[in-house]
Structure 1
Amino acid sequence: MSIVVQLDVMMARRKVRSRDLAEHIGITEANMSLLKQGKVKGVRFETLEKICEYLQCQPGDLLAYVPEHLPDVAPDPGPAVP
């Protein structure tokens, strides 16, 4: 998948334990683990808001777009010759 969850990075920067964050946002530690690993299909905005509030960050600090592969680009043929 092209969207990478960087929650574990932000938690490490803030020195926050999974248990504490899970308790604050109201999810189990097992679900927190799945979220950190990017193994969830979605996240509620309410949950994202609570995470950002606790970690004092923006949603963009938690998610990154990394293309799986770059599209093929045809070489430039140069100027047309009459």
Structure 2
Amino acid sequence: MDPQLQRHLDQMVRQAQHQAGQELVVLFIIGAISTLITLWLLYWVIRVAVRDGFMDANRDMRSTRRSPELRDGLKEKISTPDMRAD
């Protein structure tokens, strides 16, 4: 094979490998950024769900503390088993 042609082919291969490496780095960076964004959104969704869940539970507890009738009604529901036929 002609040495000049061989050098030209080698140069083209090196350029293609370099470009492929650059594309791989860009894809890795895009993947890392999208993963961080996804984890951040998941963190906030869980944080809001937990906060709202605890707030609902605290509100229920406060309402039973303020209302003895409600508290007694809940105790009665818990202490009497459900006698429905299956």
- Scaled by the length of structure 2, the TM-score of the pair is 0.20
The answer to which structure, 1 or 2, has the higher relative contact order (CA under 8 A, 6+ apart) is 1
Larger Rg: 2
- Scaled by the length of structure 1, the TM-score of the pair is 0.20
